[in-house]
């Protein structure tokens, strides 16, 4: 579903993503982990077409992201790290706009909005202006907009930031359910416990390179620490790669 | 690579809410047709605009009324000025070809200058909205056409950059039509002419913006600064060339010929400003077919400009966006320790308690390290310096002392108004922003009053120094007497203390804790009230000192008044008036400082964050 083939991207001569080759399968929940500035957000922005790779090839559902952007974009539901909503629209108006952009006709749009309203419990505030929403409310509306068109791929940057415990549980369930229903979920997160709990595979990204790719159990085997938490393994791996200060 | 396998199944016991299977394939619905996509964007804009309007009518009536009334007053004043000016030209220049030539030169220069400004303003607005806004990041991640996203922002930029042009251009053109007794179709053609004209420079600005970000994303700010500097230099050079005439021959035929010769640069046949002025003048002369021909020329060029901008956006926008956001944040490392200037400032302000000095120094550092804050102020400051330095070229000194005095006080009022925009835009929002960060200041062992007083001293220093320096420059160039200079410096001090008091006091009394942006805070009710109160205060203080000073100087310069002075002790009465005016302005200054500050301190003490 998602294929990175030797993808690289640099900022002002500084390499942010260095020759990333990765394939994420259908129905898989993949978590990209890494310290600040590792290149995770750059990777996600290339995936959704906001940034272009300097070299390499990136495909979603077989569509090249740069050359066939609109088809690729149609297959994606994207939740950025900072949710954007039009302040002077209500949540329902925003969802209606996204539904129309995604090519849904009016009746289909209404059905999907009702479905997501129930799933994300948006009803109490959906008809208020979004400028009055808390961060968690905004995040829930953005999640709803990302899954409105039943995309085969979900790309999510830091899904748990600012969410209350109920919303965290709900998002975790949503992501697992999406993967179980055949969607591919590609998320980047600092919340290692969430990755450990729900991800099928993880990738540990550091200084633009993928240092580990596999399941958490495989990481334990590689590190020969059978009882260690993902947090301990992650810190060990990234400190090793960082070298002595 | 293409072999796809199903990953781990749903954990047992969890409810499946997504429809199972089959949904991994791209959705069956097709892309939105272009016309439906356009309608969706217009609907989005219309809904947001309706909400803004509804909110303004409900919550910001005062601001809305103020904007409408002030705009109407500005429009009316411009209309009256233009009407009077065109009547003067019509009455003064009987020779029809010369009259036409003068009008052509006036229109050509006016619209040429506006055209250059429109290129810059639309380019700068588009840069912000296409490349820096979070909305475009959202839209670009949707399957919308890139050109549609560009067009959506382009239309907004045209609207935002052109309202000023319509406000300035429409009264002038309407006044001309009335004075010239133009036929009805002149008035009908005005709006299409203006709309078509706006599109040409806006498309030019869009093309320049896209090209700069696409080809030189790293050097974009340098290029912009160079462009603005070149534009200001060109404007200053042009103004110099136009006004630097021999003194004493004002409004003579030779003067007119020389001025027309100097303004001939604005009459290039390839300039849209020339098409606009020619089309409108043809309509005035009753030649509607020629006028429509010019309108067709302008419209076709506007459409071509739009088409070129759209085509360029289709090819350049996304790569340019990606290139720009590929520019890493440059970290500017500063030398450890306090800069010499800051240390000197702390030492100079020694009478003020240390916590207040440190807070004021913090504000100064934040201010000077944010070019967005001071660049606008610097542009206006620079323009005023340019004007004051060239006052003598404008032949004011050929008139009698009363005119010089009046101009000097008008200059003082203009400087005061500039300072009031500074206090409204930068000082008023400070307490709102500080309150948002109160977790930092609130935990320190300093009182809330100290925070407020530090803002006051910062505002006082920030306004007094440039205000006094500018007015001193104006007075020196006008060659006024020492008495007037001293009077002006005292008035400056009164103005600045009062302006600082109003901005800080109202900033503390009417804080906006929801907004992050200082410009948005300044644009709210409290900011508008600060601006209005400051403007009224400036007018009152300047009038209290300017009117008695004007009569005092006039009696000393005029022989008729000298007779009056000798007869009835007029001189003593004038001195009393001058003294009373000065005392009045001092009392007004004290009230404008103390009352808002007292209200502000009381409110800030009670404020909950």
Chain B touched by A25 (CB under 8 Å)? yes
Q: How far is A234 from chain B (nearest CA, A)?
A: 23
Chain B residues closer than 8 Å to A48 by CB: 141
pLDDT band at B568 (very low <50, low <70, confident <90, very high): low
Query: pLDDT tens digits for B37-86?
Result: 999 999 999 999 999 888 888 877 877 887 788 889 989 999 999 999 99
**What pLDDT is recorded for position B250?**
58
CA-nearest residue to B37 within chain A is: A101
**What pLDDT is recorded for position B395?**
53
List, as one string, the DSSP characters of B178-212: HHTT--HHHHHHHHHHHHHHHHHHHHHHHHHHHHH
Find tokens 């416990």 and name the residue.
Answer: A193
Does residue B28 surpass a pLDDT of 60?
Answer: no
Does residue B3 surpass a pLDDT of 70?
Answer: no
Higher pLDDT, B228 or B348: B348
Residues in chain A: 245
Q: What domains are defined for chain A?
A: 23-75+152-245 (3.40.50.300), 85-150 (no CATH)
User: What rounded mean pLDDT belongs to chain B?
Assistant: 82
Chain B touched by A37 (CB under 8 Å)? no
- What does pTM read for this prediction? 0.78
**What pLDDT is recorded for position A227?**
79
| Residue-by-residue pLDDT tens, chain A, 245 positions | 899 999 999 887 788 899 999 999 999 999 999 988 888 989 999 999 999 999 999 999 888 898 888 888 889 999 998 889 999 999 999 999 999 999 898 999 999 999 999 988 899 999 999 999 988 899 999 999 999 999 999 999 988 887 888 888 888 998 999 999 999 999 999 888 899 999 999 999 988 888 899 998 888 888 887 778 888 888 888 876 655 43
Instruction: Please provide residue A24's backbone torsions phi and psi, each rounded to the nearest 5 degrees.
Output: -110, 130
Domain boundaries, chain B: 60-324, 351-606
CA-nearest residue to B52 within chain A is: A88
Residue A186's nearest CA partner among A232, A163, A154 is A154
Q: Are B208 and B123 in contact (CB under 8 A)?
A: yes
Instruction: Please provide residue B346's backbone torsions phi and psi, each rounded to the nearest 5 degrees.
Output: -60, -40
Q: Are B100 and B281 in contact (CB under 8 A)?
A: yes
**What pLDDT is recorded for position A244?**
44
Which candidate from A10, A50, A152 shows the least CB-CB separation from B23?
A152
CA-nearest residue to B135 within chain A is: A84
**What pLDDT is recorded for position B7?**
41
Would the CB atoms of B18 and A88 count as touching at under 8 Å? Answer: no
CA A204, CA A189: separation in Å to the nearest integer? 11
Query: pLDDT tens digits for B234-291?
Result: 777 776 666 665 555 556 666 667 777 766 767 778 889 889 989 999 999 888 899 9
**What pLDDT is recorded for position A223?**
81
Q: Are A200 and A215 in contact (CB under 8 A)?
A: yes
**What pLDDT is recorded for position B401?**
63
Would the CB atoms of B27 and A74 count as touching at under 8 Å? Answer: yes
* DSSP classification of residue B267: G
Chain B touched by A100 (CB under 8 Å)? yes
Would the CB atoms of A182 and B4 count as touching at under 8 Å? Answer: no
Q: How far is B4 from chain A (nearest CA, A)?
A: 6
Interface test with A, best of B21, B27, B220, B321 (most A CBs within 10 A): B27
Query: pLDDT tens digits for B429-487?
Result: 988 888 777 667 767 777 888 888 989 998 998 899 999 999 999 888 888 888 889 98
Chain A touched by B1 (CB under 8 Å)? yes
Give residues with Cβ within 8 angstroms of B330, minimum separation 6. Answer: A12
CA A231, CA A210: separation in Å to the nearest integer? 17
Query: pLDDT tens digits for B499-555?
Result: 999 999 999 998 887 777 787 788 778 888 898 899 999 999 999 988 888 777 777
Query: pLDDT tens digits for A113-140?
Result: 999 999 888 999 999 999 999 888 999 9
Q: How far is B30 from chain A (nearest CA, A)?
A: 6
Q: Are A55 and A7 in contact (CB under 8 A)?
A: yes
Chain B residues closer than 8 Å to A45 by CB: 325
Run of H or E residues at B131: none
Which candidate from B10, B26, B144 shows the least CB-CB separation from A176?
B10
CA B603, CA B34: separation in Å to the nearest integer? 54
Most confident of B4-13, B59-68, B416-425: B416-425
Distance set, CA B222 to CA A106, B229, B374, B435 (Å) = 48, 10, 17, 35
Chain A residues closer than 8 Å to B11 by CB: 176
User: What b/e string do you get for B386-404 counting C-beta neighbours within 10 Å, with b at 16 or more?
Assistant: ebbeebeeeebeeeebeeb
Would the CB atoms of B48 and A14 count as touching at under 8 Å? Answer: no
List, as one string, the DSSP characters of B107-125: HHHHHHHHHHHHHHHHHHH
């Amino acid at each position: 579903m998602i294929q990175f083939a030797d993808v690289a991207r640099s900022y002002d001569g500084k390499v942010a993503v260095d020759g990333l080759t990765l394939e994420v399968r259908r129905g898989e929940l993949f978590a990209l982990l890494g310290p600040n500035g590792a290149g995770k957000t750059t990777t996600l922005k290339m995936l959704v077409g906001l940034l272009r790779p300097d070299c390499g090839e990136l495909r979603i559902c077989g569509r090249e992201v740069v050359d066939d952007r609109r088809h690729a974009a149609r297959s994606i539901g994207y939740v950025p790290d900072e949710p954007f909503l039009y302040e002077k629209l209500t949540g329902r108006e925003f969802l209606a706009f996204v539904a129309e952009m995604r090519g849904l006709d009016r009746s289909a749009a209404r059905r999907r909005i009702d479905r997501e309203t129930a799933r994300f419990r948006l009803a109490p505030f959906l008809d208020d202006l979004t400028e009055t929403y808390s961060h968690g409310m905004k995040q829930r509306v953005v999640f709803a907009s990302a899954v409105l068109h039943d995309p085969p791929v979900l790309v999510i940057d830091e899904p748990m930031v600012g969410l209350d415990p109920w919303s965290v549980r709900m998002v975790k369930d949503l992501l697992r359910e999406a993967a179980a229903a055949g969607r591919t979920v590609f998320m980047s997160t600092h919340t290692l416990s969430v990755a450990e709990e729900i991800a099928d595979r993880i990738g540990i990204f550091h200084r633009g390179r993928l240092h580990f790719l596999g399941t958490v159990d495989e990481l334990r085997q590689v590190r020969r620490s059978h009882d260690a938490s993902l947090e301990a393994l992650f810190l060990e791996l990234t400190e090793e790669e960082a070298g002595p200060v | 690579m293409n072999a796809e396998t199903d990953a781990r199944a749903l954990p047992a016991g969890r409810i499946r809410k997504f429809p199972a299977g089959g949904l991994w394939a791209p959705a069956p619905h097709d892309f939105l047709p272009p016309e439906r996509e356009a309608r969706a964007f217009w609907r989005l804009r219309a809904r947001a605009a309706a909400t803004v309007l509804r909110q303004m009518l409900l919550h910001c009536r005062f601001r809305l009324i103020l904007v409408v009334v002030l705009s109407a007053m500005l429009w009316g004043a411009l209309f009256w000025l233009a009407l009077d000016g065109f009547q003067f030209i019509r009455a003064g220049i009987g020779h029809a070809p010369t009259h036409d030539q003068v009008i052509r030169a006036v229109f050509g220069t006016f619209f040429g200058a506006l055209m250059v400004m429109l290129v810059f303003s639309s380019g700068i607005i588009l840069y912000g909205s296409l490349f820096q806004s979070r909305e475009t990041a959202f839209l670009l991640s949707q399957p919308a056409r890139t050109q549609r996203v560009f067009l959506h922002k382009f239309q907004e930029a045209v609207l935002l950059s052109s309202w000023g042009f319509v406000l300035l251009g429409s009264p002038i053109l309407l006044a001309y039509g009335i004075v010239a007794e133009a036929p009805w179709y002149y008035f009908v053609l005005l709006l299409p002419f203006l709309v078509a004209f706006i599109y040409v420079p806006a498309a030019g600005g869009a093309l320049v913006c896209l090209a700069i970000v696409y080809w030189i994303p790293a050097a974009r700010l340098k290029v912009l600064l160079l462009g603005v500097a070149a534009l200001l230099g060109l404007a200053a050079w042009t103004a110099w060339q136009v006004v630097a005439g021999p003194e004493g021959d004002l409004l003579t035929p030779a003067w007119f010929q020389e001025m027309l010769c100097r303004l001939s640069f604005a009459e290039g046949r390839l300039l849209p400003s020339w098409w606009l002025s020619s089309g409108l003048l043809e309509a005035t002369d009753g030649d509607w077919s020629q006028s429509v021909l010019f309108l067709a020329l302008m419209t076709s060029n506007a459409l071509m400009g739009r088409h070129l901008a759209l085509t360029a956006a289709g090819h350049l926008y996304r790569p340019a966006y990606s290139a720009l956001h590929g520019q890493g944040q440059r970290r500017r490392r500063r030398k450890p320790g306090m800069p010499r200037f800051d240390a000197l400032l702390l030492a100079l302000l020694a009478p003020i308690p240390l916590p207040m000095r440190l807070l004021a120094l913090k504000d100064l550092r934040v201010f000077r390290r944010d070019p967005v804050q001071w660049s606008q102020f610097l542009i206006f400051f620079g323009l005023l310096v340019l004007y004051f330095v060239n006052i003598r070229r404008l032949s004011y000194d050929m008139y009698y002392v009363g005119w010089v005095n009046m101009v000097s006080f008008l200059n003082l009022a203009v400087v005061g108004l500039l300072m009031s925009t500074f206090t409204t835009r930068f000082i008023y929002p400070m307490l709102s922003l500080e309150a948002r960060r109160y977790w930092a200041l609130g935990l320190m062992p300093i009182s809330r009053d100290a925070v407020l007083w530090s803002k006051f001293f910062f505002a006082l220093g920030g306004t007094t120094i440039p205000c006094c320096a500018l007015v001193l420059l104006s007075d020196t160039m006008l060659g006024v007497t020492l008495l007037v200079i001293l009077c002006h410096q005292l008035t400056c001090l009164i103005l600045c203390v009062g302006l600082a008091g109003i901005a800080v006091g109202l900033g503390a009394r009417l804080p906006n804790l929801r907004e992050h942006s200082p410009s948005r805070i300044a644009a709210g009710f409290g900011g508008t009230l600060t601006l209005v109160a400051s403007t009224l205060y400036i007018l009152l203080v300047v009038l209290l000192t300017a009117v008695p000073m004007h009569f005092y100087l006039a009696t000393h310069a005029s022989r008729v008044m000298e007779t009056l002075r000798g007869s009835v002790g007029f001189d003593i009465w004038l001195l009393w008036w001058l003294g009373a005016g000065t005392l009045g302005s001092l009392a007004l200054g004290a009230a404008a400082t103390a009352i808002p500050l007292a209200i502000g301190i009381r409110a800030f003490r009670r404020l909950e964050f």
